Amino acid sequence: MATFTTKDGTTLYYKDWGNGPVVSFSHGWPLSADAWEAQMFFLASNGYRCIAHDRRGHGRSSQPWDGNDMDTYADDLAQLFDALDLKDVTMIGHSTGGGEVARYIGRHGTKRVKKAVLMGAVPPIMVKTDANPEGLPLEVFDGFRKAYLEDRAQFFLDVASGPFFGFNRPGAKVSQGAIQSWWRQGMQCGHKNGYDCIKAFSETDFTQDLKKFDVPTLIIHGDDDQIVPIGAAAMKSSKLVPNAQLKIYKGGGHSLGDTAKDELNADLLAFLKS
């Protein structure tokens, strides 16, 4: 099992599959690197080296009490890149992981980065503020925290069974396996780590980070994303990232890596080759 220890003693688990140009994957809340397996298998099979870590407090990584914030997440990833001496990386981030990619570039620049992909990503900021009136009210995330503390296992099951995959939409093809996999990954997350991460993904403002992007960037979002609504996310991010390419998946939900797997894999491969 491949692991790396950060400067503050946190052990991060990571997968390192294949050989070739490097692609990194940053997962969403409260998941792990397992969420990217379909994309990693596909791209590694097409000549790429695919690296995905479990964020601190998630999956098989250790569960420190502190550091459950975007600055630390980005610094952890930077230390992993340095330890593996990765160059010309295409960084791919989903949901919270998209915030991690944005904050990484904002704090560490693109000396090791060739391209970036933000998919269903939380930037520029999820919560409603005076500067972001299209955002979701803070009460929404307070509700997340309340449900999390009352019955985390049931809350995770409800999210996976409904809005995350869009299984609550009429005619949706429901996969019990996908629900169980999401629930399993979520329950691996440290209790405090997962709780703290709600604030990290919802209240962090990535506006200035996005303005620092200076590599080709693909922004992908489903127009029926019930977790990260497209209007306050991709539509704004695509205007903040210089020369960003925006692709909207019609009828697409939040978890395109599962529900639109073949289309997403093809789009990622095409972007890597472009």
Supply the residues annotated as catalytic: 95, 225, 254
Give the DSSP H/E element, type plus range, for residue 21.
none
DSSP 183-194: HHHHHHS-HHHH
Helices (H), the chain: 37-44, 70-84, 96-108, 138-161, 176-188, 191-203, 207-211, 234-240, 256-259, 261-273
CB 79 within 8 A of CB 53: no
**Of 85, 80, 105, 98, nearest to 211 (Cα)?**
105
Query: Which residues pair with residue 132 across a beta bridge?
Result: 129
